[in-house]
Structure 1
Amino acid sequence: MRIVRHRSDQGPRLAVLDDEDVLIDLPAGLDLPTLLADDGRLADTADTSLRTAARGPALDEADLMAPLDPPTVRDFSTFPEHTAGIARNLDSNAVVPEEFWEIPAFYFSNPYATVGPHDDVPVPPGCERFDFELEVAAVVGRAGSDLTVAEAAEHIAGFVVFNDFSARDVQFHEMRLRLGPAKGKDTATSLGTMFVTADELRDRASGTSYDLTMRVLVNDEEIGTDTVDNMAWSFPALAAYASRGTSIRPGDLLGSGTCRNGCLAELWGRYGQDFRPPLRPGDVVTTEVELLGGTRNRIVPGTPPHEIRPGA
């Protein structure tokens, strides 16, 4: 099934999409992590609404929000060509590090930075090299700790398109301290139009994940394309690693990391810093992933940074 969240006269409302891409509202007051936490509740609630509730607006007419507010966001790195391209920003001879094949590394991103698929995105304070990152995120549906990869597969409820906007100059500056990224990733993460349950993708299973085409465009010009199954690590592997020594819980997001040619910084590392300009106010970034929907966000001016000094 496909679940969306939209702005209604009664406030934010979850809805299930029917076969004609029309929204059918679920009962008021529900959120996706709560429904996922109780096995079978999301399917039962959606099925009841499809049978009994009135038809709402069409998908392309609804005022969409992010499908969920994730309690945590872990963003991994699973596409080797992207990893190599990013590394070449600092070393023109860089290759994929050996550690890439040893652990599915991730950083924690900011759940408060979640924005909707069509919301405006401000340039972060002090940023001159603003970027996008085309990804897919798995949504955890069941809590678990210290999971094996096989066990973790049962803890993934579905997927959503994930665009991790990035302040590259801020990011590379702060990471010289061997920490982060932090403020480089702190302003906006756009989630796609819909949450799609894992069973909807079963027929497209391929390799580590799914044979789904991914595309990103700026001002309707295609910048990069890839397929989700070029991930070197599977989503269950990401969930298992995330649960090691701790727990994952319903609604947690596990980002795939950026696909090949899915961001400007990778292209800058491969072809030079002037290959394509960074994002500027007025630019529109569009992402598309087969069966999962996408995002379309306009870049707007941000606020200037306040001065902060040691000892202040």
Structure 2
Amino acid sequence: MENQTGVAEFLLLGLTEDPKWQPLLFGLFLTMYLVTVLGNLLIILVISSDSHLHTPMYFFLSHLAFTDICFTTTTIPKMLVNIQRQSKSISYTGCLTQVGFVLFFACLENFLLAAMAYDRYVAICQPLRYTVIMNPYLCGLLILLSLTISTADALLHSLMVLRLSFCTDLEIPHFFCELAQVIKLACSDTLINNILVYLVASILGGVPLLGIIFSYIQIVSSTRRMSSAGGKYKAFSTCGSHLSVVSLFYGTAFGVYISSAVTHSPRDTASASVMYTVVPPMLNPFIYSLRNKNIKGGALKKLISRIPFFL
């Protein structure tokens, strides 16, 4: 049963094996992927084309948009190819690569959201020192630190999977190679892998989340001391988009975790995981473009006006 030399490929079972649902899934996920890519590309173009948006807040937002594009590109295209070819296979190297990139971009998004929360904290709680604190050097340092930690996280788990031996049952009840599902297929001892998964997830997920919570506690405390109702509204309006994105990202992630703990069906867990791997990257551009007046009211209209229309 045990394969000591390695495996050639895994089988991704997807969300359903019913053939009649495959065309619908293909159309649905293709549409979601195109909306995600085009929406986030639009955010990047709007920010890069308008000099008024060359601020730390939009600097982090453009990196978040790029991360969302890469995050969905890691999983959805392979799923679409498999549906189109009526195939379930993914090579061992491809699966391990997918595991690494999913971990990298998920961790990176986590830290980018924390950096954006810190930016809002400084802007509202220390407005007179904002330009001094949130200087280009610090912004670049936060991005570099996020990239370094995310790379270390992805490499750690990917290298730990390399030490595992796998059995002949190589079916993954998911639409992409999720780390937890790959570890379950191993015949060798996975105790160290499982400990690292929970330990690293607790640290790299918990620390940024605590930072976001602390930032918003300080923001709420600062706005309560404001005497002007207009000042309070302006303060909360600058945080509305980010708070919505944070709630969507962490809310869907916790929802998947709870559903996986309650249900014993891997296929149900796979369906629930769509909510944090596909839905947040797709909705983030809409949240920022609809709730942010600087993007919706000015920069987006300027960009659209530059596009020639040929009738």
**TM-score of the aligned structures, taking structure 2 as reference length:** 0.23
More strand by share: 1
Q: Which has the larger radius of gyration?
A: 2
Which structure's relative contact order is higher, taking Cα pairs within 8 Å and 6+ residues apart? 2
**TM-score of the aligned structures, taking structure 1 as reference length:** 0.23
More helix by share: 2
